[in-house]
Amino acid sequence: MTRPIRTGGRAARHAARAAPLPDASRPVRPGLTGGRYKPLTEADVTRIHETALTALEEIGLSGAPPSGVASMTAAGAVQSDDGRLRFPRALVEDMLACAARDITLHARDPAFDLDLSGARVHFGTAGAAVSVVDAVTGDYRDSTLADLHEAARLADALDNIHFLQRPMVARDMTDDQTLDLNTLHACLTGTRKHVGTSFCTAATVPKCLDYLYAVAGGEDAFRARPFVLNSNCFVVPPMRFATESCEVMEACIRGGLPVLLLSAGQAGATAPATLAGAVMQAVAECLAGVVYVNSIAPGHPAIFGTWPFVSDLRTGAMSGGSGEQAVLTAACAQMGRFYGLPGGAAAGMADAKLPDMQAGWEQGMSDVMAGLAGLNMVYEAAGMHGSLMGFCPESLILGDDMIGAALRCVRGVEVTDETLALEAMRAVCLEGPGHYLGTESTLSVMQSEYVYPTLGCRISPKEWQEAGRPDLIAKARVRRAEIMAGPNIAAFAPELERSLRARFDLLV
């Protein structure tokens, strides 16, 4: 379903550059193993788990649709007179035992498949921003379908953006069906990587499934390698199923889409203000989601999406860029590892309105901590500003360098006889020139161990002055234009595009 790549010329060079390098020669790559940062002690983890089980057993969740009540009570959940569904511990444990583990999230191009086994880490976009940010002027304007398609194309070209969950809402779409269908088309025709999306209501799902099956070349082909995931806010915290979203989820499960079980409480508002409480509630809610999914389709692929957000308690406004958020997300990552479930959470969100220094530290700290904690899917990892209100293309491009550095940190320090370099030290100190410049051991790790930024500036102040003080944002803007002026490697084959346009109302 990918357009055949012509040999020779500019397009081929672009294609070669855009293709993932062989694993062995890349200093960083998707799926490096994290987990060396453990914000919680083992006792903390157990205590959070036990408390979540108690919450599910004694408090339970309201709001499940009749279909969900039916499947969950059939599995062993108990509906009380107050309408809440309560979950005996044994039920949760049974459902955890049959939940899907070590899953692969597929991409349209298998080269970009995501292996979510163990503590393998992947970074990508996500969000529902309603604005696009002008990186220079600070203008926030309504985001459109064209913006979303551009984001997909940028993500396709950026090595360290491993997947595209739709980062913003196409506000120029007039109705739910048009929005959901065209969101898919804008994403899929812009990137070969794994795509995540939401659906407004269950009513829009059938046509979107028809579209996806057509793209895949048939329903069976899609079900064999589902390259789109349903990001699903199945709860309205605290402890209430989001009735309509649950119906969407059921439709997606039946249709063969993996789901992201997204619990997005906000500490101090819809979740406890204490970080431990926010983690506990998110865990309880996601465990309820695990019960839900597996009561319908045992072993159906689902991401444990503990996404609690932080509030600035002075105003109640969200603060995705805070240290509290960074450590909260890392703790959630650790809980996902505890269950051995594929975990996803949000990091990399800037409160800063522009890609400025504040944005850098907000995004960098939380991204690297999520990676070090072994989060399988780091959502919102780049491009998001104004506490998820705005998406900035230049920031996404700079985020590629930032995440490259974060991945280098996740990779960590390899300790072997060779890397310890005792013999190199002996030669340099006792026989050699007294330095390691240009030695065989230095040259041999130059490409394999070191990450070089694409736009990040490492020249000396003197060289920088002589070069006219190049500005970071201006460089990102140039790269944005270059990527968009290049060929769209992700575009569908013309005959597929034509047949889809004949069947569906596609606006990209």
**Cα separation of 188 and 196, whole Å?**
10
**Cα separation of 492 and 292, whole Å?**
35
Shortest CB 56 distance to a copy of itself, Å: 11
In the bound state with a copy of itself, the residue whose beta carbon lies nearer, of 421 and 496, is: 421
In the bound state with a copy of itself, the residue whose beta carbon lies nearer, of 238 and 344, is: 238
In the bound state with a copy of itself, the residue whose beta carbon lies nearer, of 104 and 358, is: 358
Shortest CB 116 distance to a copy of itself, Å: 22
**Cα separation of 462 and 350, whole Å?**
31
* Closest residue by Cα to residue 161 from 171, 169, 153, 170: 153
Q: Which helix (H) or strand (E) holds 125?
A: strand 120-125
Q: How many CB atoms lie within 10 A of CB 462?
A: 8
> Is the distance from CB of 53 to CB of 90 less than 8 angstroms?
no
Whether cis (ω within 30° of 0) applies to the bond prior to 167 is no
In the bound state with a copy of itself, the residue whose beta carbon lies nearer, of 128 and 457, is: 457
Three-class DSSP category at 22:
coil
In the bound state with a copy of itself, the residue whose beta carbon lies nearer, of 77 and 107, is: 77
Give helix 89-98 / helix 66-75 axis angle, nearest 10°.
Answer: 90
Structure tokens at 416: 């072997």
> Is the distance from CB of 55 to CB of 284 less than 8 angstroms?
yes
Shortest CB 415 distance to a copy of itself, Å: 4
In the bound state with a copy of itself, the residue whose beta carbon lies nearer, of 155 and 275, is: 275
Q: Which helix (H) or strand (E) holds 312?
A: strand 309-312
Structure tokens at 508: 């990209």
In the bound state with a copy of itself, the residue whose beta carbon lies nearer, of 465 and 499, is: 465
In the bound state with a copy of itself, the residue whose beta carbon lies nearer, of 97 and 415, is: 415
**SS3 for 453-503, per residue?**
CCCCCCCCHHHHHHCCCCCHHHHHHHHHHHHHHCCCCCCECHHHHHHHHHH
Shortest CB 495 distance to a copy of itself, Å: 43
> Is the distance from CB of 169 to CB of 146 less than 8 angstroms?
no
Cβ burial of 42 (10 Å; 0-12, 13-18, 19+) is exposed
Shortest CB 96 distance to a copy of itself, Å: 20
Shortest CB 447 distance to a copy of itself, Å: 9
Shortest CB 317 distance to a copy of itself, Å: 6
Cβ burial of 175 (10 Å; 0-12, 13-18, 19+) is exposed
In the bound state with a copy of itself, the residue whose beta carbon lies nearer, of 256 and 308, is: 308
Shortest CB 136 distance to a copy of itself, Å: 11
Three-class DSSP category at 208:
helix
Shortest CB 223 distance to a copy of itself, Å: 38
Shortest CB 379 distance to a copy of itself, Å: 18
In the bound state with a copy of itself, the residue whose beta carbon lies nearer, of 138 and 486, is: 138
